[in-house]
Every structure is written in C-alpha cells, then in structure tokens.
C-alpha cells in the first residue's frame, strides 16, 4: 500500500474509532465514517471489506492477545500437580489479572470498543467466553481438591456462573467507567481478595 493508501487507511481507522465509540457498532454509519475520514465509500471499500472488518482492525489484535494470555494462565495452572494447584490458588490467576490490567490501560480505546460498543460483532461474547473458560477451570479445580481428600460441596451451576460472571463484569467495569489506573490497581486488588475469600468459603476450605 502506497503512502496515500496508508494515509487513507489511517484516516478511516481514526474516523471509525470515533464513530464506534460514539454510536456503538450497531448504530455506526459507514457513510459517516467515510465522510469523517474525508474519503468516498469506494475508497472505504478499497481498505476494508465491511464495517465489521473495520471494527476487527481496531480491536482484533488486542482481543486476541488478552484472550491468549488468559487461556495460557488457565493452562499453566492446570498443568501443576494437584498439591501445587492448592498451594498456588490465586497466584497464577492474580498475575494474569494484573497483566490484563496493564494491557487494557495500554490500549484503552480498543477495550472501550470491545466492552462497550461491540454488540452485533463477534466480540460481543468476549467476556462471556472468559466466563465459560473460568467456570470449566473451577469445575476442574474442585475435582482436584476432591482427589486430595478435600470435602468440597457441589456448587449450584447457576450460582457458579453468576459468581464467575460477576467477577469478570466487575473487572471490566474499570473500562466502562474510565477509571484512573492508580484507582483501578487498588480496585482489582480488593476484587481479587473478595472473590478469593468468597470461593474459599463456598468450597469449605
């Protein structure tokens, strides 16, 4: 892509970000994006196949990086020996959450789009996908604890889903409310302490 083409793409990306942040993906207008970028709709389609492709260009890399780090942390914990899992409860997940916090604050506009403006895109299920992974990991950890002889009660699946969903929704509230990072660091520290204590209580540990 030549210099003019790169400039056109950059202008469309900037205009798209502004439009999506203002109106969400569903309410965003391709014509408004093109007009704001100072290009024709034909020039738009020369850079992006669709409005969805433009949204993906703005957030795809960052959504994938965050999800990959989250999945890697889950795999790292699952690979530990049973006794190690119990001893490292909260450590790996906590480190991952701290990493995610730093990453989110390094790319605030992308995560504002993912969390607040993605309805109608593949990213609309971003938090829900994390919740589903965490729920399964929680089930697996409970089985590990029972294998260690711990008397872990059965947890109602609906309650389990609500608790996990609440944790991730709470974490991403910092994006929705444009919380200053210094405040968010403390917020996440207390959030981790709250949910760790709560799960220990529910599991009878």
Residue 64 lies in a domain: yes
From 9, 27, 48, give the residue that closes a domain: 48
Q: Exposed, middle or buried by CB within 10 Å (0-12, 13-18, 19+), for 2?
A: exposed
31: containing domain: 1-48
User: Tens digit of pLDDT for each residue in 55-92?
Assistant: 999 999 999 999 999 999 999 999 999 888 888 877 88
Say if CB 94 and CB 131 are below 8 A apart.
no
31 and 63 belong to one structural domain:
no
44 and 99 belong to one structural domain:
no
66 and 157 belong to one structural domain:
yes
Residue 150 lies in a domain: yes
Residue 151 lies in a domain: yes
Nearest Cα residue to 38 out of 9, 2, 1, 17: 9
79 and 147 belong to one structural domain:
yes
18 and 92 belong to one structural domain:
no
76 and 171 belong to one structural domain:
yes
Residue 54 lies in a domain: no
81 and 179 belong to one structural domain:
yes
165 and 89 belong to one structural domain:
yes
Number of domains in the chain: 2
105 is written with which tokens?
């604050």
What pTM did the predictor assign?
A: 0.90
User: Tens digit of pLDDT for each residue in 105-156?
Assistant: 999 999 999 999 999 999 999 999 999 999 999 989 888 888 889 898 888 8
122 and 28 belong to one structural domain:
no
How far apart CA 64 and CA 52 sit, in angstroms, is: 16
Residue 17 lies in a domain: yes
């Amino acid at each position: 892509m030549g210099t003019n083409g790169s400039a056109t793409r950059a202008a469309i990306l900037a205009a798209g970000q502004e439009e999506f942040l203002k109106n969400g993906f569903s309410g965003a207008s391709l014509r408004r994006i093109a007009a704001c970028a100072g290009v024709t709709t034909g020039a738009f389609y020369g850079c992006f196949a669709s409005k969805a492709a433009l949204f993906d260009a703005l957030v795809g890399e960052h959504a994938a990086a965050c999800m990959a780090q989250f999945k890697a942390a889950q795999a790292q914990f699952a690979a530990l020996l049973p006794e190690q899992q119990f001893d490292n409860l909260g450590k790996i997940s906590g480190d991952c959450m701290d990493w995610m916090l730093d990453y989110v604050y390094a790319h605030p506009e992308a995560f504002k789009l993912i969390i607040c403006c993605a309805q109608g895109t593949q990213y609309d299920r971003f938090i829900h996908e994390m919740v589903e992974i965490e729920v399964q990991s929680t089930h697996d950890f409970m089985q590990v604890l029972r294998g260690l002889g711990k008397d872990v009660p059965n947890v109602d699946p609906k309650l389990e889903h609500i608790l996990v969903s609440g944790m991730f929704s709470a974490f991403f509230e910092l994006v929705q409310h444009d919380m200053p990072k210094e405040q968010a660091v403390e917020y996440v520290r207390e959030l981790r302490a709250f949910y760790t204590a709560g799960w220990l209580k529910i599991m009878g540990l």
